[in-house]
Amino acid sequence: MSPRTLLYLYGWRLRAHPFKELLAGAGIAIGVALLFAVQVANTSVTGSVEQLLHAITGKAELELAARDAQGLDARLLQVVRAVPGVQTAAPTIEHRGVVEGPAGSEAIELIGVDPSLAALDGAATREFGSGRLSIPARSIVMPDRLARVTGVEPGDRVTLNMAGRPHRVRVAALLDKGEIGSLTGSSVAIAPLAFAQELAGTPGRLSRILIRAREDSVASVRAVLTRLMGNRLNVGPADSTVRRLESASAPNDQSTALFSAISAMIGVLFAFNAMLLTMPDRRAFIAELRMQGFTPWRIVGVLGFQALALGTMASLAGLLLGDLLSRSVFHAVPTYLSFTFPIGTQRVVPLHTVALAFGSGLLASLIAASRPLADVVCAARSTAWSTSAASSGRDSTPPCGAGCCWARSRSCSRRRSSSGSTPA
C-alpha cells in the first residue's frame, strides 16, 4: 500500500476522531516530555563537568593529582617530564571562587594554565597555544555568558573572592563559542598559572599535572608515576574527576533513573488509556477493511502507520515540551555537587537521550495500538464479532476475549473454531 494511501486513510481517522486522537497524542507527549526533561537535566550535570574537564585535559591520558586543597609541589613537574614515555606534562591549578560584577555574582572555577597546556589540544586552551589568544599577566578571561550575568565588559575590573579574600582583577577578554565551543555555558575563568596560584593563596602549588604519554607508553608511565609518587598523590586517568562526580551523583542518578522509568510508564499508561478510548472505532474500522477485502497485512500496515504517525507527532511535541521543562523546572543542580564540582549551566543533550525519549514515544504508541492489531492476527477467518461490531457501530468483544494477543493467537483460533457468538 502506497504512503499516499496510508496518509489518505490516516486523514480519515483525524477527521472522524480528532479529539480521541488528540487525547492519545497528549498522553504520549506528556510521557515523552517527562522522560526527556529528567534525562536532560541529569545528563547536563555530569555532561557539563565532563565537557569542561575534557576542554582542559584535551588529549591527556593521565593525571597526577593532589589529595588535598594544598595541592602538589610545582617542582614535581620536572620530575614528571623526565619520566620516559612522557610526551607532554602540563600543570594546572583549579580553585573555586566567586566572581562579583556590577550586575551580579556567580560561583566559578578559576583555572590557572601555562602555555604547555595548549599542547594537549583541549578546546578551552588550544587557542592560547596558537598565539591567537593570550592572557596578560594579572588578568583573567571568562566566557561571554558569565560576563553578561555579572555585567562585565572587556577591560573592566571585577571582584574575585578566593581563599577567603577579595581580589580586584582585570577581565582581559571574553571568550565566545568560536573560541571555547560549548564551554561558553560553563562558569569558569582562566588566568595565567602564576596569577591563579597567587589568587588561590597557594604559590608554587598545583592542583594537577596532566600527562600525555607517547604511543604505547601509557601503562609504563602510569606504573613509574605510581611507583614514584603513588603513596602521596593520585595517579590515574585524566578523567578521574568525572568518575568521582559519577560516584558522587550516583544516588541522584538512581532517583533520576527511577523517575525516568516512572515517567516512561506514565507515558505508556496515558497513551494506552487514551488509545483504549479509540478501540471500538478502530475495531469497527478493521472489520470494515476486512469486509472490503483488505488483506490482514494491509490492515496491519494501515494501523501500524497510524500508530507510527501518531507516535511521531506526539513524540516530537513531547520533545519540545520536555525541552521547555528541562529549562524551567528540572534545571536545578544538587547543591552538594555544585560545591565540589565545576558544574556548568549549559544543557547537554546527547543524541541517545533524544533517541531514547523519541523511541519510547513510538513504542508507547505501538504498544497501545497492538490490541486491535492483535485482533487482526487473532481473527483468522471468523469475524462474526467484527460484523456485528461494524453493523452496530459499537465495540464487540471477539469470542476469544479482548486480551487476545500475538502469543495467544493460535489458541484463539482454536477456540473460535469450536465455539463462537451467534451473529444471526
Partner 1 sequence: MSTLELIDVVKRYASGGDVVRAADGVSLTIVPGEVVALYGPSGSGKTTLLLLAAGMLAPDAGDVRFDGRSIARLSRDEGAHYRRGLGFVFQSFHLMPAVPAIDNATLKLLADGMSPARARKQATTWLARLGLADRAHHPPERLSMGERQRVAIARALANDPRLILADEPTGSLDSVRSRETLGMLSRLCREREVGMLLVTHDRDAAHFADRVFDLRDGRLAERGDHGAVPALEVPATDEATPA
Give the residue with the Cβ less far from partner 1, 7 or 219.
7
CA-nearest of 34, 39, 37, 43 to 265 is 34
Q: How far apart are CA 369 and CA 303, in angstroms?
A: 7
Query: Which stretches of 101-195 are assigned E, i.e. beta strand?
Result: 105-113, 139-143, 157-162, 165-175, 188-192
Closest distance of CB 303 from partner 1, Å: 15
**What is the nearest approach in angstroms of partner 1 to the Cβ of residue 28?**
23
* Cβ-based nearer residue to partner 1, 365 or 386: 386
Place of cell 580553585: 95
Q: Rank residues 18 and 166 by Cβ distance to partner 1 and give the closer one.
A: 18
Contact residues toward partner 1 (CB under 8 A) are 1-2, 4-5, 8-9, 12, 15-16, 285, 288-298, 381-384, 386-387, 390-393, 418-424
Considering the complex, state which of residue 351 and residue 424 has its C-beta at the smaller distance from partner 1: 424
Question: Coil, strand, or helix at residue 168?
Answer: strand
CA angle 84, 90, 92 (to 5 degrees): 140
What is the Cα–Cα distance from 174 to 118, expressed in whole angstroms?
A: 18
Residue number with CB closer to partner 1 (12 or 339): 12
Nearest distance, CB of residue 388 and partner 1, angstroms: 8
**Closest CB to partner 1 among residues 135, 287:** 287
Cell representation of residue 94: 583549579
For residue 86, the SS3 value is: strand
What radius of gyration do the chain's Cα atoms show? 31
Q: Which is nearer to partner 1, 4 or 168 (CB)?
A: 4
Residue type, 416: R
Report residue 202 as a C-alpha cell.
597557594
Write down the least CB distance from residue 292 to partner 1, Å.
Answer: 5
**Contact of 245 with 49, CB cutoff 8 Å:** yes
| Complex with partner 1: residue 296 or 359, whichever CB lies closer | 296
Q: How far is the CB of 369 from partner 1 (least distance, A)?
A: 18
Q: Smallest distance, Å, CB 258 to partner 1?
A: 43
Which of 393, 401 has the CB closer to partner 1? 393
141 within 8 A of 109, measured Cβ to Cβ:
no
Minimal distance, residue 29 CB to partner 1, in Å: 23
Shortest distance (Å) from residue 381 CB to partner 1: 5
Query: For residues 39 and 318, is the Cβ–Cβ distance under 8 A?
Result: no
Amino acid found at 214? R
Rounded Cα–Cα distance for residues 175 and 232 (Å): 37
As given in the structure block, the three cell numbers for residue 422 are 451467534
Smallest gap from Cβ 424 to partner 1, in A, equals: 4
Q: Please answer whether residues 46 and 191 qualify as being in contact, where contact means their C-beta atoms are separated by less than 8 angstroms.
A: no
Among the listed residues 185, 184, 160, 157, the one whose alpha carbon sits nearest the alpha carbon of residue 171: 157
Instruction: Name residue 91's beta-bridge partners.
Output: 209
State which H helix or E strand residue 127 sits in. helix 126-130
